[in-house]
Structure 1
Amino acid sequence: MKKLKKLTSALVVATALGVCAAPVLAAVQPNMAKVEERKARKTQIVGERVGKVLVKAFELYNQDLVDEAIAELLEVKSNNEFDTATLNRFLGNLYATKDEKQSIKYLTLAVAPDLLSFGDQSTSMKLLADMLLQDKQYQKAVKAYEDWIRFTGEQNADAYMRIANAYYLMEQHAKVIAPADDAIRFSPKPIEGPYQLKMAAYYDLKQYKELVAVVETMVQLFPENKQFWVYLGNFYTLTEEYGKALSTLQLAYSQGYLEKDSEVRMLAQMYANNNIPYKAAVTMEKHVKSGLVKRDKTNLTFIASNYQAAREFAKAADYYGELAKLTNDADAYRRQGSAYSAVQKYNEAIAAYDKSLSLNVDKPSGVYMSLVDAYFYQKKYKEAFAALMNAKKDPSMARQVRSWESYIRDKAKQKGISL
């Protein structure tokens, strides 16, 4: 955990704690004098006939008889605007459980005259906004949430979060940021949602520096969320900060946060990108053996090539051999031969080269030249010369062949070997 605290401390971003150089106004500015006037407004009471119907409908609702409650309310009509608004409010509430469009219809009628009590008007406006969002009427939902904020004077984190979400769903990504920031500012404690929306918006806008700053904050505030560490490691690559990408993923790995095949492969690839091939190979090898990462052509090639880059030629040869058996690939046998040659296991190298040639490797002349090396260092000059003659069939190898041909002839002559 010391490492975790050290990194998260290094990732502090002032906005994560709501600290700003100067006060920032929220997106919606209510007129608080009018809010107080509304709160002080005298509360009206429904007429006796409507009151009885409302009591009956409420009893039916409590018995889970929603359709019957709705039917009861639809039966009554009133010339009193307040009574009608109240009936529409109840209908809007009941329809919210089963029919979004009908709920929107009646809630719109309920709030339009602004005759309900402050509390009832407020909750009805909020429910209307929620129904519009649920019904995918995103632009109307944004306006409804803003109207609710102006009416109540309440700078509400959830409302701003929903506004930001509506803009994101409309793919108006640039408009997501301000309400998401307001959701962060007015939340009593840090919540993940608005940060995730900002992350998604900046990613879609291809504003990668801003994206990284947001995810750094997310890691700082929510270090237990494993996925945020993976995001941060990945997004550092978008700003070409490969060292930071690696250190982030290393720390996540040490905390046990990298649990998926793709995440482990990302860490291994990051080691390779940072010129640490041994760690790249070891990391991938460990998880291939555990079964988390597939033992397939791509991953075996990765292990083998990184062991070779790390000059762990014997291990590279083993994995090229495994790859060759899996794929029956001529080039895998050629690479295995090259790795064996590097550790002077010439017999094994020759066997691998011969297998590569038998599988019709691309550019066989190159493999024949590798055989020349392997045979020559075993002092098998006759076999080396035969391999050289095969390489000579490729005109592009003429220069290399000439430099070897006289040298091999001289060595064979010294040893009394007839070529």
Structure 2
Amino acid sequence: MFKKTKFIPALLLTVVAGSITLPALAAEKCPIDQRKSRAVSERVGKKVQKAYELYSNEQVDEALGVLLEIKTSSDFDKAYVSRMIGSLYAGKDGKVDTAMKHLKVAVDINQLGGSDHGNAIKLLADLSISERKFDDALKYYQDWMTFTCKEDVNVYLRMASAHYEKKEYKPAISFADKSIALQKRVNKAPYSLKMGAYYETKQYKNAAKIAEEIVRLFPQEGRAWVQLAQMYMLGEDYKKSLYTMDVAFRNGFLEKASEYKMLAQLYAQNEVPLKSAQLQEQYLKDGLVERDVGAVSMLANTYHQAKQIDKAVKFYGEAGELSGNSKHYMRQAGLLMERERYGEAKTAVRKALDGTGLKSTGEAQMILAQAHFYLDEFKSAYKACMAATKDSKTAKNAKSWLSYIEDTAKRKKVSVR
């Protein structure tokens, strides 16, 4: 039985970023440093303090009630209170839109102290991306970088995410690279994003290069090996795809039926049909892949390709039983004729004639006629051959066989009529 293990699926973030110009970090003094801290008015300050105390005691609704009742008389007080309200709503389920409305008020007034203003912009950006308002998110992240003169690994990744969602794959890759460059601790997300962007633009060889890097950094993640094999396969590098998928298989990283099927397909494509067929037979036996018509038919075809005729005969018959389709019985009958198993061939052909989807009745009758003939059943052979003459596809050949059958029967002193 095959070994099965669970693995954590690779996180393919939807990320992308637009072309923004980051302020020079070592240039003039940053806006955040020029923004002096200020205090709210005494009247507002008392209510804000009460709200802080309620919040500290996990009485969020009560704290919001106090803040919402505040009547401000200055823009600064309004911005300060709005930022607090927005921050509290941001932590409540279903209140993101309300949080964004209050935070936007605070940001647009543009009078908060440096840290408060920067945090408000960043929170507004984060909430925008969570609500799939990607253009707004990109604008606010850019505003945050301009205001703070900071680069941030997660901000770059989120900007990449926004662009990816907008199908702007080139900037997605660019900002994923910036996120990677700032990493102090390796995070797979930007690598997965780059791979996804190359995949979406059908740059499969580039996608494979990123997948190789992911495997190098996270060799124990089974999904990474499977994705690498998939990228190789899409890039038509079937040898590397087989090698990689085989490594994943031997390490117990395969879990999905489609992955076992992919490995079997790769063996066949790399001219190792016997191994492919043996793998298919085993995973069907173990129940890792559903034993349906498609799977059994593929198994029969692969054994046929591997010249394992007896096995192919067996599974073509099973496929026919599952489907009732004549094509499987016709293939089985043809192989039985090759093996000179004429009695079994007759049975298979009759099932084909009784089945569905038979393309040529004449072809079936010709096989039946030949099977009877080689068993010296000349009268039955002649009858089947006569039936084959009624099919335009086989009429000419059937007429030739009629004469042959009559001559042979005559020599053996057997009547065919």
Q: How does 1:164-243 map to 2 (within 5 A)?
A: 164-243=160-239
Deviation of 1:334 after TM superposition, in Å, equals 2.1
Question: Which residue is 2:64 aligned to?
Answer: 70
1:91 pairs with one of 55, 76, 85: 85
Contact between 1:307 and 1:316, CA under 8 Å: does it hold in 2? yes
1:397 pairs with one of 375, 382, 394: 394
Q: Name the amino acid aligned to 1:215.
A: A
Contact between 1:321 and 1:332, CA under 8 Å: does it hold in 2? yes
2:301 pairs with one of 301, 305, 310: 305
Deviation per CA, 1:148-183, whole angstroms, max 9, x where unpaired? 122222211100111111122233334322222212
How many correspondences in the alignment?
395
Deviation per CA, 1:121-170, whole angstroms, max 9, x where unpaired? 32222112112222332211101111212222221110011111112223
Q: Name the amino acid aligned to 1:207.
A: Q
Residue 126 of structure 1 pairs with residue 152 of structure 2: no
Report the 3-state secondary structure (helix = DSSP H, G, I; strand = E; otherwise coil) of the residue aligned with 1:293: coil
Question: Which residue is 2:240 aligned to?
Answer: 244
Distance across 2 between alignment mates of 1:135 and 1:332: 53
Question: Which residue is 1:339 aligned to?
Answer: 335
Distance across 2 between alignment mates of 1:41 and 1:144: 18
Query: Would the alpha carbon gap of residues 174 and 41 (structure 1) be closer, same or farther in structure 2, given more than 3 Å must change?
Result: closer
Question: Which residue is 2:49 aligned to?
Answer: 55
Report the 3-state secondary structure (helix = DSSP H, G, I; strand = E; otherwise coil) of the residue aligned with 1:32: coil
Question: Which residue is 2:278 aligned to?
Answer: 282
2:385 pairs with one of 383, 388, 409: 388
1:29 pairs with one of 23, 26, 43: 23
Question: Which residue is 1:370 aligned to?
Answer: 367
Distance across 1 between alignment mates of 2:296 and 2:82: 68
Q: Name the amino acid aligned to 1:368.
A: Q
Distance across 2 between alignment mates of 1:45 and 1:355: 91
Deviation per CA, 1:277-313, whole angstroms, max 9, x where unpaired? 3233222221221122111111111111211121111
Deviation per CA, 1:171-216, whole angstroms, max 9, x where unpaired? 3334322222212221223222222323333333333333333333
Q: Name the amino acid aligned to 2:80.
A: T
Higher helix share: 1
Contact between 1:132 and 1:138, CA under 8 Å: does it hold in 2? yes
Q: Name the amino acid aligned to 2:188.
A: E
Distance across 2 between alignment mates of 1:278 and 1:29: 62
Q: Which moved more, 1:209-218 or 1:313-322?
A: 209-218
Distance across 2 between alignment mates of 1:41 and 1:401: 98
Query: Would the alpha carbon gap of residues 232 and 276 (structure 1) be closer, same or farther in structure 2, given more than 3 Å must change?
Result: same
Q: Name the amino acid aligned to 1:281.
A: A
Question: Which residue is 1:315 aligned to?
Answer: 311
Q: Name the amino acid aligned to 1:343.
A: R
Distance across 1 between alignment mates of 2:392 and 2:162: 67
2:136 pairs with one of 131, 140, 144: 140
Query: Would the alpha carbon gap of residues 324 and 113 (structure 1) be closer, same or farther in structure 2, given more than 3 Å must change?
Result: closer
Contact between 2:156 and 2:176, CA under 8 Å: does it hold in 1? yes
Percent of aligned pairs with the same amino acid: 38
Report the 3-state secondary structure (helix = DSSP H, G, I; strand = E; otherwise coil) of the residue aligned with 1:53: helix
Q: Name the amino acid aligned to 1:332.
A: H
Of structures 1 and 2, the one with the larger relative CO (CA 8 A, separation 6+) is 2
Distance across 2 between alignment mates of 1:383 and 1:277: 39
Question: Which residue is 2:6 aligned to?
Answer: none
Report the 3-state secondary structure (helix = DSSP H, G, I; strand = E; otherwise coil) of the residue aligned with 1:259: coil
Distance across 2 between alignment mates of 1:256 and 1:27: 46
Deviation per CA, 1:349-407, whole angstroms, max 9, x where unpaired? 22222332344743122123223443444455554444333333334434434554555
Report the 3-state secondary structure (helix = DSSP H, G, I; strand = E; otherwise coil) of the residue aligned with 1:189: coil
Q: Which moved more, 1:249-258 or 1:157-166?
A: 249-258
Question: Which residue is 2:38 aligned to?
Answer: 44
Q: Name the amino acid aligned to 1:388.
A: C
- TM-score scaled to structure 1, two decimals? 0.83
Q: Which moved more, 1:321-330 or 1:307-316?
A: 321-330
Deviation of 1:227 after TM superposition, in Å, equals 2.6
Q: Pairwise CA RMSD of aligned residues?
A: 2.9
Deviation of 1:113 after TM superposition, in Å, equals 5.1
Query: Would the alpha carbon gap of residues 359 and 206 (structure 1) be closer, same or farther in structure 2, given more than 3 Å must change?
Result: closer
2:257 pairs with one of 237, 257, 261: 261
Distance across 2 between alignment mates of 1:298 and 1:350: 25
